[in-house]
Structure 1
Amino acid sequence: MSDAPLICVRGEAVVEAEPEIARLSVHVQSQESDRRAALDRLTERNRQCLDLVESFGEAVEKVETGGLSIMPLLKYKRREGDIRGYRGTVWIKITVRDFPVLGELVARLGELERTYVNGPEWELRPGSEVYERAARQATHEAVARARGYAEALGARLTGLVELSDEGVGRTPEAPIALAAAYGASRGGVEEEPEPIDLEPETQIVRAAVEARFTATQPDLEPR
């Protein structure tokens, strides 16, 4: 076993970057006295929502259906059998890549009848180079710190024993804010709603590594 001195350090990095995508969560609902009518109305409203989203073309990167439910509404909470109606819900997940259209999309979704819009949630892509950049900066910090300790002892680094990645992650933010709520149907022809001003939220990525280096024998003679 080598008797070379070891210098153990931890390197950290914090990187700020602009988000790369925005996610919206949309819930479309229907409520009717008849189960089939509730399902038919839900199908219609779901199609209206999807048609609106698709009209934004390549600005929308992905549209997914997160779930669908049709549930009976009871007249009395503690008694089975008395059903006063049925409620249907479709959950649609939308990923937007073109931020300039996001405010218009949210505003127009909010105009749809019985539509609930939550978001946007700003994110980096899973394979974003920002994560790699943060990891590299954390590694450079570890090397610089170890070299500084070695120089303070009158020694120099001679090799790397171990480099351990503690992980790279995005700093959690506050819960998603409500962007739009239930729209009400209105008769007649109306102008499109004004786009909502939405400012992208800066993404904060943190990375940390632990490293062990070998070094020459320190010069501990008093000076």
Structure 2
Amino acid sequence: MSQPHPTPQAPQVTVRGEGRLEVEPELARIAVAVTARGADRAGVLADLTRRNAEVLDLIRARGAAVSKLETGGLSVAPERPRRGKGEARLHRGHVRITVELTDFTALGELVPELADREETEVNGPWWELWPDSRAYAEARRLAVTEAVRRARAYAEALGTSLGSLLELSDAGAAEAGAYRRGGFSPVSAAYAVEGIGGAPSLDLAPQRQEVTAEVVARFTMLPPAL
């Protein structure tokens, strides 16, 4: 559909609006790696199976605080000498687990317990928002409000007022009608803990998330008296 061209009787103004806000994260993600090593392949697999089950039990004990629990990969393979010569004398197995939690107090209790376990490494947390978080809608609302404010300011500078909205689109959209969600760029606080003993609860400070949205809006104006 062709867009109307501006004329002296129907001048147009095009503006950009940005919405930006900081919000508390809604969930945290950690990565857990469980390892087993030994000369006997079957023994390594048995150790890995046991440790994995114990780790999963610890995580599931947090109940509703855990929003997602996934096993990302498992392997048991010979551990070759560094220079690639000779036969493997050891076997090494590992399993990787991803956990998402919505209760950060439970997270602070769980991480030390996991990291205190034998041959277990923990990385994270990565703070995030839900894909359908209301923060995204609020950022878009702020962007539209800013676009209208700027357009009205231009019209008032000409001694006139806005007429009607012709177009509203996400700024930087790859194609007409494309949707670009306001995003965030959390800085990961990665760590690995081993042998801390006692497994005290960690006092975690969730990292606030920055959510942004940008729109481009085009309006008609009433003809100004220049």
- The TM-score normalised by the length of structure 2 is 0.88
- What does 1:12-23 correspond to in 2, within 5 Å? 12-23=18-29
Report whether the alignment pairs 1:164 with 2:164.
no
Q: Show the counterpart of 2:62.
A: 56
**Residue matched to 1:122:** 127
Corresponding residue SS for 1:37: helix
Map residues 11-50 of structure 1 onto 2, 5 A cutoff: 11-50=17-56
Distance 1:196 1:9 in 2: 47
Q: Contact 1:115/1:183 (CA < 8 Å) preserved in 2?
A: no
**Structure 1 letter corresponding to 2:47:** R
Cα distance in 2 for residues equivalent to 1:173 and 1:122? 6
Conservation of the 8 A alpha-carbon contact between 2:128 and 2:186: no
Residue deviations 1:190-211 (CA, integer Å, cap 9, x gap): 8x42101101111110110011
CA distance in 2, matches of 1:172, 1:219: 47
> Which of 186, 200, 205 in structure 2 is aligned with 1:173?
186
Are 1:134 and 1:168, in contact at CA under 8 Å, matched by a contact in 2?
no
1:10 corresponds, among 16, 24, 34, to 16
Equivalent residues in 2 for 1:53-202 (5 A)? 53-79=59-85, 82-166=87-171, 167-178=180-191, 180-183=192-195, 192-202=198-208
Q: Give the aligned length.
A: 212
Letter in 2 for 1:12: E
- In structure 2, what is the Cα distance between the partners aligned to 1:171 and 1:61? 20
Shift of 1:76: 4.2
Post-superposition offset of 1:102? 1.3
Identity %: 47
Task: Quote the Cα distance in structure 1 between the aligned partners of 2:71 and 2:134.
Answer: 29
1:182 partner letter: E
1:52-100 per-residue CA deviation (whole Å, 9 max, x = no partner) reads 1111221222211111112221124333x51121111111111111111
1:175 and 1:21 map into 2 onto residues whose CA distance is: 13
Distance in 1 between residues matched to 2:208 and 2:81, nearest whole Å: 48
Residues 29 and 126, structure 2, Cα contact 8 Å, conserved in 1: yes
Output the aligned Cα RMSD: 1.7
Q: 1: distance between equivalents of 2:36 and 2:17?
A: 54
Paired with 1:193 and 1:75, the residues of 2 have a C-alpha distance of 35
Task: Structure 1: state its 5+ residue gaps.
Answer: 185-189
TM-score of the aligned structures, taking structure 1 as reference length? 0.89
CA-CA distance at 1:32 after TM superposition = 1.0
Runs of 4+ in 1 over 6 A off after TM superposition: none
Q: Which amino acid aligns with 2:19?
A: A
- Compare the two structures and name the one with the higher strand fraction: 1
Cα distance in 1 between the residues matched to 2:89 and 2:194: 22
Tell me the amino acid that sits aligned with residue 183 of structure 2: R
Cα distance in 2 for partners of 1:158, 1:26 equals 57
| Structure 2 equivalent of residue 187 of structure 1 | none
